A and B are shown apart, each in its own frame.
Chain A
Amino acid sequence: MRNIVKEIECKFSDHDDFFIEEELVDKTAIYLIGFNTLVDLSKSKLYVQQMAASSTSINALFINLSGQINVDSEQIIKAVIEGNLVIFSQDGEENAVVDPIAQNLRSSIAEPKNESPIYSSLDAFGEDINMNVGMIRKRLSTERLCHSSYQVGELEKRKLSVLYIKGRTPNSLIEKVNQQLKQIKSDIETIDDLNKQFGQRRLSPVSHLFATELPIQAIHSLKKNRIVIFLDNCPFALVFPHLLWDMLGSVNDRNFPFILSFLLRIFRVIGAVATLILPALYVALVSVNPEVFKTDLALFVAKSREGIPLSAFLETIAMVVLVDLILEAIVRLPKSVGPAITMVGGVILGQAMVEAKLVSNLLVIVITAVVIASSAVIGMQNSLYIRLLKYPILILASLFGILGVCMGLFFTVIYLASLTSNDIPYISFHIEEKGDTK
């Protein structure tokens, strides 16, 4: 029955990359169907010929080629869309879905682009979900590593893989995640869409998932009783749940002796806290509470602000916004124009604004310290949200001085303490092992 073939041809008639090729095997014709942007046609034909040479009949050929034989039309369409090769017999009654030699649409294992590990291995996750899961399996060869996969979405079906170590991750967590993933109805396009499925947090800058590019980090998280989720075409391992300590300690620290890694983590803590409170502290100490300074320091600060037309608060807000703009703009620039803009930005910020007496030198020093400190934490997302959190504290400080800084800091701490993902609080030290050890 060539009806099925005709039907499929009609369905894909306005896809110009759809092909139906006729091949001769043992003097019978078979039809090869697929998208030639997804299937490498010449190599696949060669492969089919090779298999045909060693098979006795068309049926045997089909059995040798694949496991999916005589599937219905819906599945054929799905298989064609996914990039498989479908082979029809001459009369259209028998068909087989074959995994072809695919076009090489993927890049191979490369170096991480968003993180720069020192003293450790340099492989990063790639775009293909199977490759990513494979990288993990290669590094963590234990039979307790479990893998469940889901396909979610409306317009397109995206593959999700969930990895966990059985016996370590708490069972309740696994069941909840399972339930939440099965309930997904809308499309998952970005990481944030996935994030929303785990519990709606509308105004929160902290997400439930922590993205990492390094296999070592993902494996370490698995060993620490967490779940790793992979989304296809997304080169990140998403660790669930996101805890506060991800920002401060990475597994690569432990490549150094303990005291060194401890010191590194202390520096990160100092960096995070400094980003939050330094600009606010400047505004508070200069405009609202200058009696805190000793005499010499107070006179020095007063002298450095002599003749500046803006008030301390406006000055600080302008500089802070400008610096954040520059940090954002540098990300967008192509490699050729980037260095020029960086130089201009540095010259403007550093030299011209100070010499024009628009901002005081002390503020430039403070802002530089803030920029450096905010990049000391691990993870771009974490550094972004810490940079965001300093604005409310800055506003509170301009109203209430040092009291505002304290209040802002305490409020931030309380807010972070109130976040939970699936009943695991954001600030917990570690997730207890409550899984089965079957």
Chain B
Amino acid sequence: MKNNKRFKLLIVFMSMLLLSGCWNIKDINKRSLPLVMGISKEEGKEYKLSLQIPILENENQISKVVTGKGETVASILGQIRTNSEDAVDYSQIRLIVIQSNLAHNQQEFKELIKFLMVSEEIPSRALVAISDENVEDVLANISEKLGVQATSIYDFFNKGSDWAPEIFSISIWELYRSSYLYTKDIAIPVVRSGKDTVLVFEGSDILKNGNIIERISPHESQLINVFQNENEKGKIESLGFASLMVTNSSIKNKISMRNNKPHVSSDLNLKIYILERDNGITDKRIRKELEKLIEKRFYIILKKTQGRQADIFGFGQQFQHVLSYHELKDWRDEYYPKLKVNFKVHANME
């Protein structure tokens, strides 16, 4: 009797070994790992989705682009799954490129963001970018550019602020969050495919409540970065008669309420290093020109966004302890248009 029991236990145990193929577990080399996803939708037509999938056979890492069409994004994802030869694993998607027509459609854009955030397969860390061109062209550009790695599109955004201070990145969860925040708006980077390089950074789109308002240039978007406490290290400015590099920066904000109107005075301290200058140009002149240039930039953006009631610089966040919670709900409509900012730049030589 005891032997029988042990024998049965042994059988159970051995059959556990066979379970290891169970539950459709696939080894990593049997999966396709798409890295970049591109979504676009024409007016009145269906959604189009492209995936960039690296192929690992040869020594060079090349990639292929797979496109599908369907009624909703979810159905296209399922369709691609059905038609691909390997199991497609969406958990390594790093970048989502959205065509600007789709981005300008407020209703659908909002739904898309919600879908991307809630979906368990697509990680919410993935970055988002907007492109004016055809999304497939952007993705296919990699295969044409020889000697370029499969992860190059993702690496484009992740160079780090020292190496490329103008580029910033925004992830899905930040987009999702911005549709609920009362006191801050965000900007999404805009890219297009380049002739010699894979991508070219064109500026950014300001997003308010799912609505795209403005497009601003790279210099201006970099200024927005500064206000969000990213360092301006490494940025190169050219003044026509001189070019200089910013080696360090810091920003200080002081807020106050006067007559129920919000007031901010910010000071931006820069340390600069002069790279080249024409003959006879003094340091003082360079500094003054730089300060004027940056202040002008700032006031242009401020005027544009104040008119559209989009708080791109995040001043509303600073007023969180001054205003009460209910008043903050109306920040964009009531307080922000009345906001007065006193912006001063102080540039010092290295």
Give A contacts to B, CB under 8 Å. Answer: 286-288, 290-291, 295-296, 298-299, 301-303, 305-308, 311-313, 395, 398-399, 401
Contacts and interface: CB of A to CB of B under 8 A. Distances in A.
A286 B20 contact: no
Contacts of A399: 16, 19-20, 22
Q: Which of B25, B27, B94 has the most CB of A within 10 A?
A: B27
A395 B13 CA distance: 10
B27 A305 contact: yes
A298 B123 CA distance: 15
A303 B20 CA distance: 23
A295 B151 contact: yes
Interface in B141-195: 150-151, 154
Interface in B58-104: 61, 89, 91-92, 94
Given A306-B56, A306-B57, A395-B16, A301 B35 contact: no
B31 interface: yes
Given A302-B33, A395-B20, A399-B20, A287 B27 contact: yes
B86 to A, nearest CB: 10
A306 B150 contact: no
A296 B92 CA distance: 10
Contact of A291 (B19, B27, B91): B91
Contacts of B21: 311, 313
B28 interface: yes
Nearest to B154: A295
Contacts of B54: 299
Closest 6 CB pairs of A and B: A291-B91, A398-B20, A305-B29, A290-B28, A287-B27, A303-B56
Interface string B26-50: 1111010101000000000000000
Contacts of B91: 291
A354 to B, nearest CB: 16
Contact of B29 (A296, A308, A313): A308
A398 B18 CA distance: 10
B20 A295 contact: no
Contacts of A288: 25
B12 interface: no
Given A298-B33, A302-B33, A286 B28 contact: yes
A286 B27 contact: yes
Nearest to B94: A295
Given A286-B28, A301-B28, A306-B56, 20 more contacts: A288-B25, A291-B123, A295-B33, A295-B35, A295-B92, A295-B94, A295-B154, A298-B33, A298-B92, A299-B56, A299-B61, A299-B151, A302-B56, A305-B27, A305-B28, A308-B29, A311-B27, A395-B16, A395-B17, A399-B20
Nearest to A317: B17
Nearest to B150: A299
A312 B28 CA distance: 9
Contact of B33 (A299, A313, A395): A299
Given A287-B28, A299-B33, A299-B56, A313 B20 contact: yes
Contact of B28 (A296, A302, A307, A395): A302
A391 B297 CA distance: 65
A291 to B, nearest CB: 4
Q: Which of B20, B61, B91, B92 has the most CB of A within 10 A?
A: B20
Contacts of A287: 25-28
A343 B339 CA distance: 80
Contact of B151 (A296, A303, A311): A296
Interface of B: 16-17, 19-22, 25-29, 31, 33, 35, 54, 56-57, 61, 89, 91-92, 94, 123, 150-151, 154
A308 B30 CA distance: 10
Contacts of B25: 287-288, 398, 401
Nearest to B57: A306
A288 B150 CA distance: 24
Contacts of B89: 290-291
Contacts of B27: 286-287, 305, 311-312
11 contacts: A286-B27, A290-B89, A291-B123, A295-B151, A305-B28, A305-B29, A306-B29, A306-B56, A308-B29, A313-B20, A398-B20
Contacts of A298: 28, 33, 92
Contacts of B92: 291, 295, 298
Contacts of B33: 295, 298-299, 302
B29 to A, nearest CB: 4
A286 B29 CA distance: 8
Contacts of A308: 29
A296 B152 CA distance: 11
A312 B22 CA distance: 13
Contacts of B20: 311, 313, 395, 398-399
Nearest to B21: A311
A398 B16 CA distance: 10
Contacts of A301: 28
A399 B17 CA distance: 9
A297 to B, nearest CB: 10
Nearest to A398: B20
A394 to B, nearest CB: 10
A8 to B, nearest CB: 48
A139 B105 CA distance: 89
Contacts of A305: 27-29
A296 B158 CA distance: 13
Nearest to A314: B20
B126 to A, nearest CB: 11
Contacts of B150: 299
A295 B25 CA distance: 20
A431 to B, nearest CB: 36
Contacts of A290: 28, 31, 89
Nearest to A294: B92
Contacts of A306: 29, 56-57
B59 to A, nearest CB: 10
A289 B306 CA distance: 48
B27 to A, nearest CB: 4
B149 to A, nearest CB: 9
A410 to B, nearest CB: 19
A311 B54 CA distance: 22
Contacts of B56: 299, 302-303, 306
B227 to A, nearest CB: 30
Nearest to A401: B25
A59 B258 CA distance: 126
A398 B132 CA distance: 46
A191 to B, nearest CB: 26
Contacts of A307: 29
A312 B31 CA distance: 13
Contacts of B17: 395
A305 B33 CA distance: 14
A311 B33 CA distance: 18
Contacts of A303: 29, 56
A286 B31 CA distance: 11
A344 to B, nearest CB: 29
A276 B53 CA distance: 36
